[in-house]
Structure 1
Amino acid sequence: MDKKPRCPSRRLIRLTLKRKSSDKLCFLYHVFSRQWSHKYPEFKSDKGDINGLGRRLPGGAWNYHADMVPTFCQSMKVWGLDVDNIYVPVNFRNEHWIAIWISIPKRHIVVWDSILTHIKAADLDVLMEPFVNMVPYLLVECAGSDEERVKHTLEPYTYERVRVGVPLCRAGDCGVWALKYIQCHALGMSFP
């Protein structure tokens, strides 16, 4: 009797990614973005030591850095070493989904939004603040050696919302749209 794969959608993505030249990718699920957005005020209020380190990261931050979660689809790839590109669906106020692509080498985050008028620029700044600040911090704090640590800085990442060439969708379809857009971009495919 054949066993069904425990995570068929991830299996499909992994099989398709084998055809892609770069396997330095990480796909995070929505819990990451919700947890980091929720815990960011604690991180922001913690000043750390004189070097800016020692601040309180959300629980499980190391597990994300080492790609050990979710437990049913671990890759054990370390951000900044084995992973250059991170894809994450992000929820805005429990009413709208966007997709983000975090490029570690470029120190930049790209935001794709299927309904550009839904999130105002000021609200997007607030939504992105945890990611532009905590991702570089995590890379420095969790670096395995001094050589790795000097490759990263505590300077916040930059971000942009892509406004041209991003297909739009109807209200209610934004969650599926975000996941499909992430998949297509990671595979280098055009969006259907």
Structure 2
Amino acid sequence: MFEFTIGFENHYNGIAPDCTVTNKKWVQDADTLYITHNICNSHWVAVEVNLLKKRVKVYDSIYSAFEENDVKESVKPDMKLISLLLGHLAPKEEKQKMGGCAYNFYLIKGVPHNDQSGDCGVYSLKCIECLALGRCLTSIDDTNVGDIRLKYAAEMMDEVDLSDFLQPTIPKTSPYPRGTSDDAPQGLETDSLDSL
């Protein structure tokens, strides 16, 4: 028996995370989820979950990295969790239909292939962006992945409040924490043996 915390309920209801509140409930308002998924701590893929059709599509930019069955096994826990969450939070009339059912799995071939090592995360993000916007996936390849990486980095920096990092800071402790009292400027405390 899995007990869902309020965080799961907030995601289901579209009120989490705080930075992207949509107030759109799963199934009722949003029928597709996009997830970046990591396989064995070594490879990122894009996952599209259709909640109404109970369908999972995995878009893998390096389809030779893992066997299809390994990819399927790696996403199974996520699919089980989503199914349980839907069964737990769906309206009464929808509960039986939504929860506990198995999802159909598809490994999508024909995704732009990533030959360079270390770019699968960028490929998975760009794939999700294209899918969400209804665009074809041909706009990414190894020749432009560096530019896409820089674009994502710039967009993330635009979202971050850098004011805390740009203000000069005054040290609150001695810059000579292990020095002697002779080394330290007057008025600063040190933890030298002389002060013991």
TM-score bin (small chain): 0.5 to 0.7
Distance 2:136 2:57 in 1: 17
**SS of the counterpart of 2:46?**
strand
CA distance 1:58–1:95, shift in 2 (3 Å): farther
Match of residue 95 from structure 2: 149
Match of residue 167 from structure 1: 112
Distance 2:9 2:81 in 1: 12
Task: Give the root-mean-square deviation of aligned CA atoms.
Answer: 1.7
1:78 aligns with 2:31: no
Larger Rg: 2
Match of residue 122 from structure 2: 176
Deviation at residue 112 of structure 1 after TM alignment? 0.3
**SS of the counterpart of 1:101?**
strand
Match of residue 60 from structure 2: 113
**SS of the counterpart of 1:60?**
helix
Q: TM-score, normalised by structure 1?
A: 0.65
Distance 1:148 1:171 in 2: 44
- Match for residue 67 of structure 1 among 7, 10, 14: 14
Match of residue 95 from structure 1: 42
**SS of the counterpart of 1:136?**
helix
Distance 2:103 2:71 in 1: 14
Q: TM-score, normalised by structure 2?
A: 0.64
- Match for residue 104 of structure 1 among 28, 51, 72: 51
Unmatched segments (≥5 aa) in structure 2: 140-196
How many residues get paired?
137
Match of residue 14 from structure 1: none
Contact 2:85 2:99 in 1 (8 A): no
Contact 1:87 1:100 in 2 (8 A): yes
Deviation at residue 131 of structure 1 after TM alignment? 2.3
